[in-house]
Amino acid sequence: MSSTPATTPAARPRPRTRRILLEVIGAIVLVCLAGIGFLYFYVRDGQPQVDGQLALDGLEAPVTIVRDELGVPHIHAQNVHDLYLAQGFAIAQDRLWQMDLMRRLGEGRLAQVFGAAALPLDEENHRLGLPHAIQENAAHLRPREAKLLEAFAQGVNDLIVKRRNHLPLAFQLLHYRPEPWRPADSLALAAYMYKTLASGYKDKLIHETFAAKLGPALTNELFPDLSPWDIPPGAPLPQSPADLLPAAERRIAPVGAATALLPPVFAAPPQVADVRGGSNNWALSGAHTTSGLPLLANDPHLQFQLPGLWWTVDLRSPQVHVAGVAIAGVPGVIVGHNDKIAWGVTNSDADVQDLYRATLDGKDNVRTPQGWVPLQHWHETIEVKDAPPVHLDIAVTPHGPLVARDAGGQLALAWTLFAPDSLEAVHVFLALDQAQDWHEFEQALSGFAGPAQNFVYADTAGHIGYQLAGRVPERRGFDGSVPVPGDQFAYEWHGWIPFSQLPRVFDPASGLLATANSRVTPDGYPYVISTDWDAPNRTRRIYELLASQNRWNAAELGRVQTDTVSEQDRDFAAALVAAGGAAAVDGQKLSPDLQRALNLLDGFRGAMEHESAAPTLAYWTRKEMLHEVLAAKTGDTLATQYQWSEAPVFEQWLVRKQSPQWLPHGFATWNDFLLHCLTQVIQRDSLAPDKINWGRYQTLGILHPVFSHVPFARRYADLGPVPIDGSPLTVKQARNPILGDKVELGPSMRFIADPAHWDRSTLTLVAGESGLPFNKHYRDQWSAYLAGRGLPLWFSPSAVAAHAAHTLQLTPNTSR
């Protein structure tokens, strides 16, 4: 028989203790409820007004903003001035804090808000000359561009004034208020994008270091600038690529005595990923579509961020009707369609920078081809929150600022950004938004002075086309892949490659056009655009998929955008399986784990799916092979610094050619070496499903820069982490840092245009239209993005009216 222990008086809480405890708990609960109540009312009060009527300064006539079920604004104005003023107002409603963050990023003023932690990035942007370029461009704006930027700024400032007592919560948490928006601030966002898309000078230092270590022959193999798998726009699809790398004639400068990569003058902080943007775009003629008219698709690959870079908008006035995405802080539409044409953009990976070795005399002079000239100096001040300001003295040569050093001395950066009109892209995209045919499309792009981009085109008349647009230096006798002497005429730029000489294709016979950052120049092209194209894997796969079906509609193109097959990893897995078979024939006994790994790889078709183990084994064994090959030649430290966009071409060549020059010592055959690499991978990570599945290495989690640090808010503000399919080499790109396991870069939006019926076009953002974490449109596109589902981009007035969720009338302020 059991008994219940008696409770002694000492075990009972005393009434006074219990009362105090209850009072403390009650007080905590009241504080929490008060905090939650404050947050609720503050957040609700801080939401933008999307219905009713508002009077705005600067408007010339009434404007209507209709927001659909996704919060996308459809802005209808009576003139272009009011259209872009209203766009500035609407963007600021959704993204004001993000706009302030990005202008500070471009202007090198993050530390003013975030303190010393942001100082390295501010200093980097100052030393690269971004604030200097912004000031130069602001002083040379074309009159019409200046007027439209002022109208846009007026709209932003109208919002700041009207919401001065109800600013987004991020401003309150960081204890500051936004400054008025200026036209130069839109240029700051353009400068930030310029750096994102065209800042590869560090690769030249890496290339130089390997060249000094390996010599020219091996260096040319390790750093290919073209391959037999390349498919320039309009070229036929190769059927059976050659086994050998092409014998390219490299036009590099003498490497000299450089023996080591020395630290640059500055370095990016660890939390800033040094990841270059990519992208896919393509167009199909009516011969390949169910409608008989073209289709166009675009998904720019950029670093993930919250809020996202893009903001969807539909702009309509008597002069223009265009829908697509804008950059939060810049007027107009960057990618999208009007009533006649559609266009998409990818980065061309054009080389728009050179490093010049500066000869200094110790007396503030630098030697140029014309003789000795004084150095100039940029004197910059960075304000730092809760700390003294930092003063910079940046020495500047005629080529550009001194930004780095190698064993040969200090290096000056020449960059197309430093031209006084490099950021004047607004007039180009405003002209593009209004273009009605191929001729007007090309005419608009001929004025583009930014980093060279691949534009694809489709129209309602049945035409498709491709045009490379932007400024690319004209180099003669050298290719810019390594630093060059700064005091010799032979290495000077000869202006820009003429627009008429940049690659273009109109209505190709195949009816197919695609770009994915790989080489776009035809064989024999006389100019140097790049030596560091992206590998052609995605481009080739896109062409293969498009050619695999006779007729496509807009909805079906989403399958191409989300394709996750890596043919490189499929072929490498087959090579590993063949190596295992050869070992068995030779009588070698394989370990149980190695045999199991080979069984997992056998029959792998390249689908980089997060629940599969084969992608992990193929991908990481391929990376192990590359590292050990390089370490055997250069040592482990230098091997880890190897970065080259076309490294997959070199990897393919290694496996196909099995060159004895690259086979590490200690291995009799390449088959032995490949099995060794696979063994290293499975010893490092067990074959347990939770350890080896691809999803462990491919997780997407996006953190809000402020709210991720606020416990009660992060669950609303952050996205993921979730395992995702894809890899750096798949059409659905998922790129991570060199040895990381978190995806940092991928499709920043997905757009499909249907000129046969514009209302069948789709556009999906990563998160949502709003940048306010507690707004219902902050993350309402996330599930569709992960599923690869296209969301409607309503265009016709009837469709907009049918899907209207809110209507705001803006009227001129007559009270002043």
For the stretch 187-218, pLDDT in tens is 999 999 999 988 788 889 999 999 999 999 99
In this prediction, residues 662-687 reach a mean pLDDT of 93
Q: What's the confidence (pLDDT) of residue 735?
A: 82
In this prediction, residues 390-405 reach a mean pLDDT of 95
User: Residue 428: inside a domain, yes or no?
Assistant: no
Q: Kindly tell me if the per-residue pLDDT of 41 is higher than 70.
A: no
Q: What's the confidence (pLDDT) of residue 696?
A: 87
d(CA 238, CA 271): 41
Question: pLDDT (tens digit, 9 = 90+) per residue, 102-161?
Answer: 999 999 999 999 999 999 999 999 999 999 999 999 999 999 999 999 999 999 999 999
d(CA 323, CA 83): 13
Q: What's the confidence (pLDDT) of residue 50?
A: 97
d(CA 119, CA 100): 17
Between the CA of residue 479 and those of 249, 253, 697, what are the distances in Å?
A: 10, 8, 36
Q: What's the confidence (pLDDT) of residue 278?
A: 73
User: Where are the alpha helices (H) located in 5-79, listed in sequence order?
Assistant: 15-45
In this prediction, residues 594-603 reach a mean pLDDT of 96
User: Residue 768: inside a domain, yes or no?
Assistant: no
In three-state secondary structure terms, 744 is: coil
Domain count, the chain: 1
User: Residue 787: inside a domain, yes or no?
Assistant: no
User: Residue 146: inside a domain, yes or no?
Assistant: no
- Averaged pLDDT score across all residues of the chain: 89
User: Residue 670: inside a domain, yes or no?
Assistant: yes
d(CA 163, CA 90): 13
In this prediction, residues 16-45 reach a mean pLDDT of 49
Look up tokens 């009650």; give the residue: 26
Q: Kindly tell me if the per-residue pLDDT of 246 is higher than 50.
A: no
Question: pLDDT (tens digit, 9 = 90+) per residue, 445-455?
Answer: 999 999 999 99
Write the DSSP symbol of residue 232. -
Amino acid residing at 786: L
Provide the residue range defining the domain that includes 624.
Answer: 567-605+613-692
Question: pLDDT (tens digit, 9 = 90+) per residue, 749-806?
Answer: 999 999 999 999 999 999 999 999 999 999 999 999 999 999 999 999 999 999 999 9
d(CA 419, CA 133): 8
Write the DSSP symbol of residue 475. -
Q: What's the confidence (pLDDT) of residue 379?
A: 96
Pairing mode, if any, of strands 453-459 and 464-469?
antiparallel
User: Residue 447: inside a domain, yes or no?
Assistant: no
- Give Cβ neighbours of residue 748 (< 8 Å, ≥ 6 apart): 299, 300, 301, 302, 304, 308, 309, 310, 766
Q: Kindly tell me if the per-residue pLDDT of 308 is higher than 70.
A: yes
Q: Degrees (nearest 5) of the Cα angle 440, 442, 446? A: 115
Q: What's the confidence (pLDDT) of residue 273?
A: 33
Cβ density class 545-581: b for 16+ within 10 Å, e for less: bbeeeeebebeebbebbbbbbbbbbbbbbbbbbebbe
Question: pLDDT (tens digit, 9 = 90+) per residue, 679-728?
Answer: 999 988 777 766 789 998 899 999 999 999 988 888 899 999 999 999 99
Res. 36 pLDDT band, cuts 50 70 90: low
What's the sign of the alpha-carbon dihedral 119, 122, 128, 129?
Answer: negative
Q: Kindly tell me if the per-residue pLDDT of 45 is higher than 60.
A: no
Going by C-alpha positions, the residue among 456, 453, 454 that lies closest to residue 284 is: 456
Q: Kindly tell me if the per-residue pLDDT of 350 is higher than 80.
A: yes
Res. 540 pLDDT band, cuts 50 70 90: very high
Q: Kindly tell me if the per-residue pLDDT of 65 is higher than 80.
A: yes
Give the H or E element holding residue 211: helix 201-214
CA–chain centroid gap for 658, Å, is: 35
In three-state secondary structure terms, 468 is: strand
Range name among 503-512, 517-526, 686-695, 726-735 with the lowest pLDDT average? 686-695
Write the DSSP symbol of residue 260. S
Which residues is 67 bridged to in the sheet? 73, 806
- Torsions phi, psi of 327, nearest 5? -85, 130
- Give Cβ neighbours of residue 359 (< 8 Å, ≥ 6 apart): 366, 367, 409, 486, 487
User: Residue 372: inside a domain, yes or no?
Assistant: no
Q: What's the confidence (pLDDT) of residue 276?
A: 52
User: Residue 180: inside a domain, yes or no?
Assistant: no
Which residues is 473 bridged to in the sheet? 496
Which residues is 415 bridged to in the sheet? 353
Name the more confident of 4 and 399. 399
